[in-house]
Amino acid sequence: MRDHGGNIGQAAAHYGGTLADWIDLSTGINTVPYPIGQIPADAWQRLPEPASLRQLERAAQHAYGTASEVVPVAGAQAAIQMIPRLRGAGTAAVLSPTYNEHAAALRACGWRVQEVGAFHALEGSDLAVVVNPNNPDGRVYTPQQLMMLAQTVGLLIIDESFADADPETSLVGQGVTAHLPENVVVLRSFGKFYGLAGVRLGFVVCQSELAGKFRDMTGPWPVSGMAIEIAQRALQDDTWAQTTRVRLGNDTRRLDALAVTAGWKVVGGTSLFRTYATDNGIMAQKMLAKHHIWSRIFPYSTNWIRMGLPGTAADWARLTIAMEN
């Protein structure tokens, strides 16, 4: 099993306490979720109608500001599992370090994968993957840089799972092009920004030929009726989205200030998570765990630690006490 955040059960088993005792800052998921309200009974009881899926797609186009096709999937992770089957296996380059499921999914389907550290090293590959903004260090490449890269590779996958909080980083909706190039696939996550990861919803943004291939793989009911009902509301709620971006920006600065006071250095991140360099990542994680606060460390770095943003005043107070000790 590859390492991921969100393993709060393991943390509780090791350090004690119940799940309810813990603050989970290990994932980068918004800790102040969108208010879902009431869900109609037929969303639970009936198979999703094609018309409802089309409405969801239009809501996503609105939220992302794109005229390209949008394909709903059961989370961006589901799309990552489909991408290796878009064409025959060849050479793939993944800009790293990054979310580890991209390289793993490609290798599992016979692709020859190189994990490269330089943007220019992606050029010439049959398939290239850029997580933008990157997880965990927050590296960002401009739409112009990505468009130029697309001209040099067979297929370009841009994972924008954390772009909702910082929409200026996105290739879609920035006026760069009304439609994406035919060899570009953009992944978007619903659960992270809207704080509803359990809904398991994401979107693939691409042109019609690739969209057709994704729809063939997802089948007639790619997402649940509950996901459709919730996401249609959320994706069209521009006021909530803008208010949330302002709050996340303020909270990002607050968390950075707390980390710097504790002697940590800011590596980077997004408005949903921050990554810091500490003297010892394992010890920093243990320090927080003593206060039942879970964070994320990485096998390729001895000193990095990643944290999401606390949601409540009580959570901020506990984190402040933990980092002052």
Residue appearing with tokens 């984190």:
319
Q: How many residues would you count in the chain?
A: 325
The residue type at 6: G
- My answer on whether omega of the bond before 97 falls inside 30° of 0, hence cis, is yes
User: What is the Cβ-side half-sphere exposure of residue 264, based on CA atoms within 13 angstroms?
Assistant: 26
Domains of the chain with bracketed CATH:
8-33+239-324 (3.90.1150.10), 41-236 (3.40.640.10)
**Residue 325: pLDDT over 80:** no
Residue 63, exposed/middle/buried by CB under 10 A (0-12, 13-18, 19+)?
buried
pLDDT digits (tens, 9 = 90+) for 262-288: 999 999 999 999 999 999 999 999 999
The whole-number pLDDT of residue 146 equals: 96
Are 34 and 195 in contact by the 8 Å Cβ rule? The answer is yes
**Does the pTM exceed 0.85?**
yes
The whole-number pLDDT of residue 177 equals: 52
What is d(CA 75, CA 162) in angstroms, rounded to the nearest whole number?
Answer: 13
DSSP annotation of 21: G
The whole-number pLDDT of residue 3 equals: 75
**Residue 102: pLDDT over 90:** yes
What is d(CA 259, CA 273) in angstroms, rounded to the nearest whole number?
Answer: 13
The whole-number pLDDT of residue 288 equals: 97
The whole-number pLDDT of residue 235 equals: 98
**Residue 175: pLDDT over 60:** no
pLDDT digits (tens, 9 = 90+) for 182-241: 999 999 999 999 999 999 999 999 999 999 999 999 999 999 999 999 999 999 999 999
The whole-number pLDDT of residue 2 equals: 72
Closest CA to 12 of 318, 293, 297, 310: 293
The whole-number pLDDT of residue 109 equals: 97
Predicted confidence band of residue 178 (pLDDT cuts 50, 70, 90): low
Concatenating the DSSP letter of every residue in 105-148 gives HHHHTT-EEEEESSGGGGTT-SEEEEESS-TTT-----HHHHHH
Concatenating the DSSP letter of every residue in 254-299 gives HHHHHHHHTT-EEEEE-SSEEEEE-S-HHHHHHHHHTTTEE-B--T
Which 3-state string (H, E, C) describes 144-200?
HHHHHHHCCCCEEEEECCCCCCCHHHCCCCCCCCCCCCCCEEEEEECHHHHCCHHHC
pLDDT digits (tens, 9 = 90+) for 11-58: 999 999 999 999 999 999 999 999 999 999 999 999 999 999 999 999
What is d(CA 319, CA 230) in angstroms, rounded to the nearest whole number?
Answer: 31
Q: How far is CA 89 from the centre of its chain?
A: 25
Are 69 and 205 in contact by the 8 Å Cβ rule? The answer is yes
The whole-number pLDDT of residue 98 equals: 97
Q: What percent of the chain has pLDDT over 70?
A: 98
**Residue 176: pLDDT over 70:** no
